[in-house]
Structure 1
Amino acid sequence: MEMFEQQKVFKVADYIKMGEFLNMFTFRVIWQALLPVQEAGSNELFTATRGLLMILYEMDSRRPYTPPDHWLIKEVKASSFLVDLDKGKKTAMFILLKMPHIIPFGERVKVFRKTVYNERVSLGLCDSQSTTPQSTLITVHRSRIVEDGYRQLAQQPVRAIKGLIRVRFVNEQGLDEAGIDQDGVFKEFLEETITKVFDPSLNLFKVTSEQKLFPSSTSYIQENYLHLFEFVGKMLGKAIYEGIIVEVPFAPFFLTQILGYGSSSTYSSVDELPSLDPDLAKNLSYTKHYEGDVGDLDLTFCYDEDIMGRLETHELVPGGKAIPVNNDNKIRYVHLMAHFRMYRQIREQMLAFKRGLNSIVNPDWLSVFSAPELQKLISGDTADIDISDLRKHTQYYGGYHNNHKVVNWLFEILEKDFTPTDRAAFLKFVTSCSKPPLLGFAHLEPPFSIRCVEVSDDQDTGDTVGSVLKGFFNIGRREPVGRLPTSSTCFNLLKLPNYQKKSTMRDKLKYAIHSNTGFELS
């Protein structure tokens, strides 16, 4: 209201000018070595200018007010950071951490991935000519995915979780499922675990009015709830570490807390309260701007919470239940109430979650991202699918190849007949995530694949010489009108019947992706 509608104390144009000046000023100080790196953290002028700059940048991250690419500095190349990382230098990384926004997001993701790769090499977690990384094998029953995963992984050393984890699933009949694979089956385990633990019905997490996730303040009813939060943090950290995209939408204020920005002296909970409780934010704004005697509102320094039908009163300050809100202390009340709802109420859960996440992913590596960018790192890009990039990095099985008639039809349908919504549904159908990888499909693990299928899923035993030849040469083929496309999301695999008409494939594919039929996860 004050910044955009009333435009006081400054106009929006003034904020843009301030940001432009401060951005270049702090950049010049570091990049041109006007201030030695070791002194930058203690210099009062640098600390003050950078502090104000980051406030302006974080405001822009919450609600954009600057032109596109306003914060980028053209003379900075991400390639120089990658070179320095290869040489083990820290200066470039220091600059990147101090001013993450001066480099395009995609380039910072490359630096992040390179940093992870370097650590994996140093820990001996990558295949080499002389060594093969050790793996951790866990056995998980389909009906107890979270419980079995927690029991076997929660106490594993961090190095083991960062390394290769192989999963053996046990089906409902108690029989081992075929196949142990470090990429596909583990991806399925990770996705299934994350889906279940973030389900609000479990009461570890709640959703805002915009269906964004944050820790539940009543999660303590779960046994060992803090250990569970730490485990969940580790699993999300593992997904980020491996570059596995998971469609988990977090509340912006929780992302800010994950990054540690909430502990900054310049951070105000009031700014992000609307992302948690817009109604409370409006009420506090009304209290702040109330022109009469605030005492008429009959408020005290406490918050009443309904916990399963029982009213529990939380005091914002000691004895707050007996302290009335008046015109002199209303600003303090507004900030304390926002701080309680945004931080104090879920502090233990948030700290446990961060402890797990940061044990896998160094918090300094994540500090190069803003809260919205961290969400992209977790859940992928919001842009439309680049069909040419997808086709370029697709693998084929069962006789299909890049110039096969059915494959040509598929990509024509995706590009010309499908809407962006259809394309997102298609990607979710095959990979379990509707968003493309941040750096393109070359970085999708496992690679996107298409396989020609001959029989129903329950009869499918894999490719044979005969099936591959039939798929390749299109031998003895009838229109498979009774078959829908299916998918193995754990392997990012589309199982596509060898349709004889493009129109049939288009209709079947559209039906499958929008009705969620045909999923075969295991």
Structure 2
Amino acid sequence: MSIVHQQASAAWQQLVSQVCACMAKLSGEQRQALLRWLSELPADQFGARNVRPLQRHISGLAHRQGPQDAREALMRALQLLGLMFGANEKGTRKVAFSEFYNQALSESMDVQYEYVVWRRAKEGAKRQRGPTELVSLCDVPFVLTPEAKGNIFKIEAALQMHHQMHSSGVNALLQGVNPSLVQFLDIRIRRDRVLEDALNQVVGRPHELKKPLRVTFISQGVDEEGLDQGGVKKEFFQLLTREIFNEAYGMFVFNEETRTYWFNATSMEAETEFTLVGQLMGLAIYNSVILDAHFPHCLYLELLGRRPTFLDLKQAMPELGRGLQQLLNFEGDVEATFARNFEVEFEYFGEMRTEELKPGGADIPVTNNNRQEFVDLMTDYYLCRSVARQFSAFAAGFHSVRPLPPHIPLSHMDVLLLNEVAGGPALSLLRDEELELLVCGLPHLDFDALQAAARYEGGFAADHPTMRQFWRVIKALPLDKKRRLLAFATGSDRAPVGGLGKLTLIIQRSGPDSDRLPTAHTCFNYLLLPEYASEEKLRSRLLTAIENAQGFGLQ
């Protein structure tokens, strides 16, 4: 980098800082006027001349650690970026929301500091903040990457677990009980009664869900040996997920086109079972476990309190969506052609029933003038009203793992770290898209990153001929088979937040060349592979294994 460029860069940074300082002094009315002006810019000008230059400025400030003036300059720049974000969300988006993520800032932030400052300001502010004043990067969540938000969740979970363990220990001492017996959420699961035992031991203990989870499996009446260092816990979530989505239970219906599950509107299962599914999802996030559970995107939208739209219905139920879109687009006489009223027909245990979409709907025909209302009511019926009982129980279970926090004064970081955390406000930082990532991971798979993070045991190494063959075979597979391999080895066909580079696949040599198939221990991300004599044999044996696995590997 030349001196001239350095000076030009420094001058440019100074100029942008001055612009941000001026913008920070705008009145509320002036800020609204600026927001309207930004929202009217053409998309190319909005992104190329406003968002991206400001993001470069923020990235430069992110690397200036320490000085208070740098922190203040950063916060002023983020205020201006917040205006741009608001303009982008107003009406049709000009740039993708991910354009507002700042990688440099997300990677360099002190997660614990930002979280604590944010909590203290939210819960016990001893000073009054102005309407636009920022004290923490958590005040501008749109700038934080999903991985950064995942780290915030981990901090929150660790602090809450510490608080719950401390509280339980103190209460135990007062009652003359050994504190070590009450500091964990201990559950004992019979392998042939996974769902039954989870229902009995999780749903009835809402006040203990913030304790660290510790699982013991029971086989033939005997406790299995081994410490739960993460693998046993992961296996519990895998087995329970498989049980919950078993068609025999009838809790969910599977959509072949979207490969997702939705609540069964005619399910006779008790609400406690849907509560358990919600708690399962909340506990998985809380314990940093990716679930192999695929719901349509509207589920995450509704969990955050937002109403689904017709677009969400088209994504969740494409066949129904296409029919309703045809109704909206039809240029002829809707009433005469479609002969529909404001009611919906459905099958209930072999019997056809109807339900009105609005009072008197059976006698109200769908016409050219009211068809949009009909589509809106159909959307509400299928995504909300028809499954209200099931979803309400599910949502209650999910939110019971991270209830709204009580008003706890957070006056000092050390006190906070010891015993002052009891809430779970980090969820408010998430978009629905980001919540989905935390639950079931990233759909994009980078197998180069997986290879770079892999570990080898039992005689294999990165430069071993069999491992070179293995990675050639894997990278040549079509995407669907790559997903099946990932599910075979890890229990999920998606990557954790941050990508496959954050997942450590352990490949262990399981003996010399043989006709045995590869096996896997999904709870530990272990793939056991014989040292096959040829690349073709490796490919054949591996494909046979993954195509005959039942979702979670062979072991």
Does TM-score exceed 0.5, indicating one fold? yes
Is 1:252–2:252 an aligned residue pair?
no
> Using a 3 Å threshold, how does the CA distance of structure 1 residues 117 and 140 change in structure 2: closer, same or farther?
closer
1:192 pairs with one of 232, 236, 239: 239
Equivalent position of 2:306 in the other structure:
261
AA at the equivalent of 2:379: A
> Using a 3 Å threshold, how does the CA distance of structure 1 residues 255 and 15 change in structure 2: closer, same or farther?
farther
AA at the equivalent of 1:493: Y
AA at the equivalent of 1:183: G
Equivalent position of 2:163 in the other structure:
122
Paired residue secondary structure (1:271): helix
Is 1:82–2:115 an aligned residue pair?
no
Deviation per CA, 1:87-140: give whole Å up to 9, x if none. Answer: 4334699976775433333333333333333333333489xxxx9783344333
Deviation per CA, 1:346-390: give whole Å up to 9, x if none. Answer: 112112111111122467433433333333222222232444555
AA at the equivalent of 2:350: G
Is 1:152–2:197 an aligned residue pair?
no
Deviation per CA, 1:237-260: give whole Å up to 9, x if none. Answer: 111111211221111222211222
Q: Is the contact made by 2:279 and 2:397 (CA closer than 8 Å) also made in structure 1?
A: yes
Is 1:400–2:400 an aligned residue pair?
no
Deviation per CA, 1:160-197: give whole Å up to 9, x if none. Answer: 464132222224xx555444535222221211111111
Q: Is the contact made by 2:105 and 2:144 (CA closer than 8 Å) also made in structure 1?
A: yes
Alignment of 1:156-305 (within 5 A): 156-160=205-209, 162-171=211-220, 174-179=221-226, 181-208=228-255, 209-219=257-267, 221-222=268-269, 224=270, 226-262=271-307, 269-296=309-336, 297-305=338-346
Q: Is the contact made by 1:146 and 1:196 (CA closer than 8 Å) also made in structure 2?
A: yes
Paired residue secondary structure (1:299): coil
- Which range moved further: 269-278 or 340-349? 269-278
Is 1:513–2:546 an aligned residue pair?
yes
Alignment of 1:492-511 (within 5 A): 492-499=525-532, 504-511=537-544
Aligned counterparts of 2:550 and 2:377: Cα–Cα separation in 1: 49
Aligned counterparts of 2:219 and 2:100: Cα–Cα separation in 1: 51
1:70 pairs with one of 76, 85, 99: 99
> Using a 3 Å threshold, how does the CA distance of structure 1 residues 292 and 19 change in structure 2: closer, same or farther?
farther
Aligned counterparts of 1:411 and 1:385: Cα–Cα separation in 2: 16
2:152 pairs with one of 86, 96, 111: 111
CA drift of 1:72 comes to 3.9
TM-score, normalised on structure 1? Answer: 0.72
Equivalent position of 2:191 in the other structure:
142
- Which range moved further: 511-520 or 231-240? 511-520
AA at the equivalent of 1:369: L
> Using a 3 Å threshold, how does the CA distance of structure 1 residues 497 and 292 change in structure 2: closer, same or farther?
closer
Aligned counterparts of 1:402 and 1:312: Cα–Cα separation in 2: 63
Q: Is the contact made by 1:229 and 1:349 (CA closer than 8 Å) also made in structure 2?
A: yes
Q: Is the contact made by 1:387 and 1:414 (CA closer than 8 Å) also made in structure 2?
A: no
Alignment of 1:428-443 (within 5 A): 428-440=487-499
Aligned counterparts of 1:231 and 1:323: Cα–Cα separation in 2: 40
Unaligned runs of 5+ in 1: 1-11, 41-45, 263-267, 455-478
> Using a 3 Å threshold, how does the CA distance of structure 1 residues 384 and 195 change in structure 2: closer, same or farther?
same
2:443 pairs with one of 368, 382, 398: 382
Q: Is the contact made by 2:252 and 2:264 (CA closer than 8 Å) also made in structure 1?
A: yes
Equivalent position of 1:5 in the other structure:
none
CA drift of 1:498 comes to 4.7
TM-score, normalised on structure 2? Answer: 0.68
Is 1:484–2:522 an aligned residue pair?
no
Q: Is the contact made by 1:135 and 1:160 (CA closer than 8 Å) also made in structure 2?
A: no
Q: Is the contact made by 1:22 and 1:53 (CA closer than 8 Å) also made in structure 2?
A: no
Aligned counterparts of 1:354 and 1:508: Cα–Cα separation in 2: 43
Aligned counterparts of 2:103 and 2:197: Cα–Cα separation in 1: 50
Aligned counterparts of 1:287 and 1:415: Cα–Cα separation in 2: 46
> Using a 3 Å threshold, how does the CA distance of structure 1 residues 347 and 517 change in structure 2: closer, same or farther?
closer
1:426 pairs with one of 476, 485, 493: 485
CA drift of 1:314 comes to 1.2
1:32 pairs with one of 70, 76, 91: 76
CA drift of 1:324 comes to 3.0
Aligned counterparts of 2:246 and 2:164: Cα–Cα separation in 1: 34
Q: Is the contact made by 1:162 and 1:241 (CA closer than 8 Å) also made in structure 2?
A: no
Paired residue secondary structure (2:148): helix
> Using a 3 Å threshold, how does the CA distance of structure 1 residues 20 and 31 change in structure 2: closer, same or farther?
farther
Aligned counterparts of 2:49 and 2:294: Cα–Cα separation in 1: 34
Alignment of 1:444-459 (within 5 A): 444=503, 448-453=505-510
CA drift of 1:280 comes to 3.2
AA at the equivalent of 1:272: D
> Using a 3 Å threshold, how does the CA distance of structure 1 residues 93 and 498 change in structure 2: closer, same or farther?
farther
Query: Percentage identity across aligned positions?
Result: 24
Paired residue secondary structure (2:193): helix
> Using a 3 Å threshold, how does the CA distance of structure 1 residues 369 and 199 change in structure 2: closer, same or farther?
farther
Aligned counterparts of 1:216 and 1:416: Cα–Cα separation in 2: 38
CA drift of 1:332 comes to 2.4
Aligned counterparts of 1:323 and 1:519: Cα–Cα separation in 2: 50
Unaligned runs of 5+ in 2: 1-39, 59-73, 122-132, 168-178, 404-423
Aligned counterparts of 1:235 and 1:518: Cα–Cα separation in 2: 19
CA drift of 1:328 comes to 4.3
Q: Is the contact made by 2:185 and 2:208 (CA closer than 8 Å) also made in structure 1?
A: no
Report how many residues are paired.
452
